[in-house]
Amino acid sequence: MQVKEVADLVGISIRTLHHYDAIGLLKPQHTTRAGYRIYTASELERLQQILFFKELGFPLKNIKEILDNPSFDQVEALEKHYERLLAKRRQIDTMLETIQKTMRHTKGEITMSNQERFAGFDFSSNPYEQEARERWGDEAVDKANANINDLNKRENLEQTINELYHRLADIRKEDPASEVAQKRIAEWFHLLNEIGTYSLDAFKGLGQIYVDDECFRKNIDQFGEGLAIFMRDAMAIYADSK
Amino acid sequence: MQVKEVADLVGISIRTLHHYDAIGLLKPQHTTRAGYRIYTASELERLQQILFFKELGFPLKNIKEILDNPSFDQVEALEKHYERLLAKRRQIDTMLETIQKTMRHTKGEITMSNQERFAGFDFSSNPYEQEARERWGDEAVDKANANINDLNKRENLEQTINELYHRLADIRKEDPASEVAQKRIAEWFHLLNEIGTYSLDAFKGLGQIYVDDECFRKNIDQFGEGLAIFMRDAMAIYADSK
DNA sequence: TCTTGACCCTAACGTAACGTTATCGTTTAT
DNA sequence: ATAAACGATAACGTTACGTTAGGGTCAAGA
């Protein structure tokens, strides 16, 4: 197989193959007199492995090490990488929190309700907590209390969710593509993402479920007739626009 | 202030200041005849803002736009960035899952219990679920059921946690720094990270709480006298070794 | 006054993983 | 024979600096 065939088959660019050749990560089995690179099944197999590790975020250098050195412990490499990824995710979580805080400060108005929205998450009123925080640091205490807090959080989140339902119901007669609608649906997206991790597709699919599933629809339409449909449309538009 | 003072003050390198000067992101108020860069309070302020956005992962180009253009909507920029970060986090979550799956395949033995460990998370037995999955896609269904599943998950997690407690109790007489101990504590770390996000410090702090807090200690020591202390030590060693 | 540190400067290559021209040779079908 | 499709190498561009390399500046002590 020549470069284009391989590239098209696995969905990478020709340049990438050139590059992998240049750095010795994936050499073609041989080259024709004209210098054309010729790849065979075994190169394809190696390429699959390369792409696998690449998808996991490994740098090419490491991939080369891992593949070239069968004695290299792949499991260990995976474990190490796993922890690097965890660290990265924590970093991102921190950034997300910071942004939220900042927006709350910057925006002020609408976000004042955001303030309230998270007020319940603060346990500073509990004297034992106060002491615990000083002794062990905030983060550890927060984590240790995760189970207990989870209930409070959930209660509070439910309230927040209800509020947002109401605010969505208020505008359910407007165009789901309108700026207001999209802003509030974005809030909805962010709110859900505080609970779990939602892809845009999942978000859109969820909107459809709101309409198709009786149980969901009834519950949602309690806030206003037609809200489920409105939300589905707004959610689809939102997801597609990203 | 000269470069070194500024650099030391805010904790960046001199080269970084040179760089910011070169790309016009942060120019010193003036330079001496000898070409020395002199910064004043207002530059420091701008630098703080730069570092703030940088911490959020903004590229320098954008930071320049945001800061140079007061009409540029900072809130909008933050919101956009927020979503980029969410996407990144989702990507990382996917990678984490993939690694886990792979390790389960690769390792086989110990991880066979991992298989079981997650078996309860599969709802394929429910016929309605089956249908729902086909109609809306797995991800959406999973998310829609988050609340219901959460309970199951929690139950199941509790079981998993208990199992791990037992396996930790089994080796509680050994050295917390031993390979076995560290392996199992690593599992513990990963398990907790499936529930929430734990920094290494929080993890370590949590270990201390296991010992200091009577409630925790009693519960843990049910699995074996001295387990709490053993876990604290192992957790501290683990955290420090990363 | 000269020297020695401590500090400053510019210039330029290196990094990761290719994307993107630019220029040119090869193969194949018409 | 010629054009279309494909292949090749070469080399700059990208991000945010780290890292030498080579060489001035300034204040203080000998």
Q: Would you say A216 and A228 are in contact if contact means Cβ atoms under 8 Å apart? A: yes
Q: Which residue among B103, B139, B209 sits closest to A144, beta carbon to beta carbon?
A: B209
Looking at residue B149, its pLDDT comes to: 40
> Best mutation site among B131, B182, B197 for testing chain A: the one with the most A CBs within 10 Å?
B197
pLDDT tens readout for residues B99-139: 766 665 554 433 322 222 222 222 222 333 444 445 445 55
Q: Is residue A182 packed enough to be buried (19+ CB in 10 Å), middle (13-18) or exposed (0-12)?
A: middle
- According to the model, what pLDDT value does residue B84 have? 74
CB contact under 8 A, B55 and A95: yes
A chain contacts of residue B204, beta-carbon cutoff 8 Å? 140
Range 9-38, chain B: CB under 7 Å to any strand D atom: 12-13, 15-16, 19, 32-34, 36
From the list A89, A142, A186, the residue facing B89 with the nearest CB is: A89
More confident residue, B13 or A197: B13
Q: Per-residue pLDDT tens for B192-210?
A: 776 666 678 778 877 887 7
Q: Do A201 and B89 touch (CB under 8 A)?
A: no
- Contacts made by residues A99-103, CB under 8 angstroms, sequence distance 24+: A99/B56, A99/B78, A99/B81, A99/B82, A99/B85, A100/B82, A102/B78, A103/B75, A103/B78, A103/B79, A103/B82
Three-state DSSP at A3 gives helix
Q: Are strands B30-31 and B37-38 parallel, antiparallel or unpaired?
A: antiparallel
**The token pair that represents B76 in the structure block:** 């909008």
Q: If we measure between CA atoms, which residue out of A115, A208, A207 comes closest to residue A163?
A: A115
User: Which of A132, A190, A205 lies at the smallest CB-CB distance from B139?
Assistant: A205
Complex confidence, ipTM:
0.47
Strand partners, B31: B37
Q: Which of B75, B143, B209 sits opposite A196 (nearest CB)?
A: B143
B3 touches strand D (CB under 7 A): no
> A92–B89: do the CB atoms touch at under 8 Å?
yes
A51 within 8 A of A7, measured Cβ to Cβ: no
pLDDT exceeds cutoff 90 at B4: yes
- Contact flag B209-A93 (C-beta cutoff 8 Å): no
Residue A87 CB partners (closer than 8 Å, separation 6+): none
Number of CB atoms found within 10 A of residue A56's CB: 20
List the beta bridge partners of residue A38: A30
- Of B60 and A102, more confident: B60
CA distance B168 to chain A (A): 19
Query: Are A86 and B193 in contact (CB < 8 Å)?
Result: yes
B9 versus B80: the higher-pLDDT residue is B9
pLDDT value, residue A202:
76
Q: Could you identify the residue written with the tokens 């390790």? A: B103
Between residues B61 and A124, the one the model is more confident about: B61
Q: Which residues in chain A land under pLDDT 50?
A: 107-137, 141, 143-154
pLDDT value, residue A127:
35
Round and report the angstrom distance from CA (B122) to C1' (D26): 72
Give the H/E segment covering residue A150. helix A146-170
Shortest alpha-carbon distance between residue A13 and chain B (Å): 22
Local confidence band at B242 (pLDDT 50, 70, 90 cut-offs) = confident
Highest-confidence range of B34-43, B51-60, B223-232, by mean pLDDT? B34-43
Are residues B117 and B163 in contact, defined by beta-carbon separation less than 8 angstroms? yes
CB–CB contact A89 B103 (8 Å)? no
Token reading at A231: 């939300």
Q: How many CB atoms are located within 10 Å of the residue A146 CB?
A: 15
Instruction: Dump pLDDT digits (tens) for A50-77.
Output: 887 887 778 898 888 888 876 666 677 7
pLDDT digits (tens, 9 = 90+) for B176-185: 898 888 988 9
CA distance B217 to B209: 8
Identify the pLDDT of residue A3. 95
pTM over 0.80: no
Q: What is the pLDDT of residues B208-221, one digit of tens each?
A: 877 876 656 777 77
